[in-house]
Structure 1
Amino acid sequence: MGSGGAAAEPPPGWLLRDEASGTLYKRGRLLGEGAFGRCYQVTEVTSGRRYAAKAIPRARLAAPGIGDRVERERELQRHLRHPHIVRLHGHFADRGHLYLLLELCSRGSLAAIVRTRGRLSEPEVRFYLRQLLSGLGYLHGHGLVHRDLKLSNFLVTERMRVKIADLGLARRAAPPGRRWGALCGTLSYLAPEVLDRRGHAVPSDIWALGCAVYTALTGHAPFEARRRPELFRRIRGARYPLPAQLSPRARALLARMLEPEPAERASLEGVRGHPFLTEGFTPRTLSPRACHSVPIFVGQEPLCRLLRGLRCWRGCGCVPVTSVTPGGGRAPPRRSRGRTSAEENLY
């Protein structure tokens, strides 16, 4: 679902008031737009604390499914406390909007960083992936399946830590003998079993995370096509290009995460213990400069010829190279007119 409905709504005022507590918030810059509302940076007037406020127009809450999704997100996030999951601090309403007051992740999303950079280096992907696995393990440990993992739902804090956001589609894992067969989420990130109405479960989250890892490493989604039937055939057959710049360990990890049969797919522990994460160099920290340029890990790792366009001799995938297909030709363009959007939502 696109954001056209949200864009047509008038924005909230510059001063937002929580009528229940009397707290005033000053509305700041627009952080982004979602399927049913906009997100703004807001500042509590008395304390100066900054938050991200998801503003949902009251009129849209009456639309089919929207109110339930917002309530599910609010109820789930109210109980979650983890360093790699966006925290919900509270909620309030005025005459025009309902506001979810969320932890501010001021560096934006990994999707925005990848759009700016083109793609990320393998050390950076390891840095972020370790944190995402920690957050996802927490969700799964609480019996929750996210159902919409993607780069735009991975938000980066001021200190360059990544957090899982948007639990509007999350729900409890189906009990033994049952399955939730709803076709929801982001089109090109749906696992084969979800397309076949066998339901979302922990393995489908692993698949979606694998799609996100691929997109971060290459700059485009693994499964793209002009028409949905062809897209679905590629997903069911796990047919995706393997650009030459991917290291053998990255290729092997993607093969395990994008295994079509959920019973054969890597588990969360299997991903954590994969050589891509355990044997490759992972930086201890990232500079905010990594949001817009390739980092050079001086002092953390030998330079290894860390120059744009050259491959690391140690095979750690430190630096991107020109994207080519295994046969030597240039990889297909990132997106062309008429192609199914990599982040087209189905909800």
Structure 2
Amino acid sequence: MVLGQARDEPPGWYIEDVGRGMIYKRGRLLGQGTFGCCYQVTEVTSGRVYAVKVIPRARLTAVGIGARVEREQELHSHLSHRHIVRLHGHFADRSHLYLLLELCSRGSLADILRARGRLREPEVRYYLRQVISGLHYLHGHGLVHRDLKLSNFLVTEKMQVKIGDLGLARGAAPDGQRWGLELYRRIRGALYLLPPQLSPQARALITLMLDPDPVARPSLRDVLDHQFFTQDLSHTNIGRGKPLLVLGTV
């Protein structure tokens, strides 16, 4: 027990990237996940602020964790899009691996939903457009994210959404094959519930997107052309002035 606790101790208040000669001052805790913790850090020379994902070396030996971290590093190094979290670099010391990421200071959409409880559909449209833009970019590079959830949609100070955590992303599955297990049983059986407060347009779009027949589902372009998005353009003021804490499940 004592050894396990020691392995998961946070890094010091100052974190050094020896290879690049950079020193970062650790700030507030941004979140915790399967790999480790994420902190806000400041590069002491330039004053630039980042997020750093801190992964104890001991966890890299767990089944699948090391490969997932390597995949995330590799994919991020080839991707550049306004709605994908940017990886600025990675380095390590004797006890931790560090992924230096673009800072999304307002947390995730999961955090925002917990604070709000419910979101208005114009707000959903505003942010969902950004998510779709990021997904379109990933799909254009032959990648399937495979872990799309609110906690992996991060929000910047200017209320811009960034898709993060590419550790489970893979190339599209070959014809006749699928990635996953239980999820696909639910998809094939159309086993899901819709909240009663949804508008008819929202219900219609979700039903289309969750059609058991993949051929019948709309493309990302078709999604954006659906009446759910075209019925109301009042989203243009969202994010101006005092930022709204917005977005959750449709």
TM-score by length of 2: 0.90
1:168 deviates by 0.3
Structure 2 equivalent of residue 211 of structure 1: none
CA 11–23 in structure 1, closer or farther in 2 if over 3 Å, else same: same
- 8 Å Cα contact 2:159/2:243 also seen in 1: no
Structure 1 equivalent of residue 198 of structure 2: 246
Structure 2 equivalent of residue 259 of structure 1: 211
- 8 Å Cα contact 1:6/1:36 also seen in 2: no
Q: Take 2:162 and 2:84, find their aligned partners in 1: how far apart are those partners?
A: 5
Structure 1 equivalent of residue 123 of structure 2: 124
Read off the aligned partner of 1:286 and give its amino acid letter.
G
Residue correspondences, number: 243
- Secondary structure class of the residue paired with 1:108: coil
1:180 deviates by 4.7
CA 96–7 in structure 1, closer or farther in 2 if over 3 Å, else same: closer
Structure 1 equivalent of residue 225 of structure 2: 273
Mind listing any 5+ residue stretches in structure 1 that lack a counterpart?
Answer: 196-231, 295-341, 343-347
Q: Deviations over 1:34-80 (max 9, x none)?
A: 11111110110001111110001011111111110000000000111
- Secondary structure class of the residue paired with 2:239: coil
CA 26–134 in structure 1, closer or farther in 2 if over 3 Å, else same: same
- 8 Å Cα contact 2:75/2:166 also seen in 1: yes
Q: Take 2:100 and 2:193, find their aligned partners in 1: how far apart are those partners?
A: 40
TM-score by length of 1: 0.66
Q: Deviations over 1:58-106 (max 9, x none)?
A: 1111111111000000000011110000000000111110000000000
Structure 2 equivalent of residue 73 of structure 1: 72
- 8 Å Cα contact 1:14/1:26 also seen in 2: yes
Q: Deviations over 1:199-218 (max 9, x none)?
A: xxxxxxxxxxxxxxxxxxxx
- Give the one of 279, 283, 290 matched to 2:244: 290
Q: Deviations over 1:187-237 (max 9, x none)?
A: 7xx3x3xx4xxxxxxxxxxxxxxxxxxxxxxxxxxxxxxxxxxxx5xx543
- Secondary structure class of the residue paired with 1:283: helix
Structure 1 equivalent of residue 14 of structure 2: 15
Report % sequence identity: 66
- 8 Å Cα contact 2:29/2:37 also seen in 1: yes
RMSD: 2.3
- Secondary structure class of the residue paired with 2:51: strand
- 8 Å Cα contact 2:76/2:87 also seen in 1: yes
Alignment of 1:101-180 (within 5 A): 101-175=100-174, 177=175, 179-180=177-178
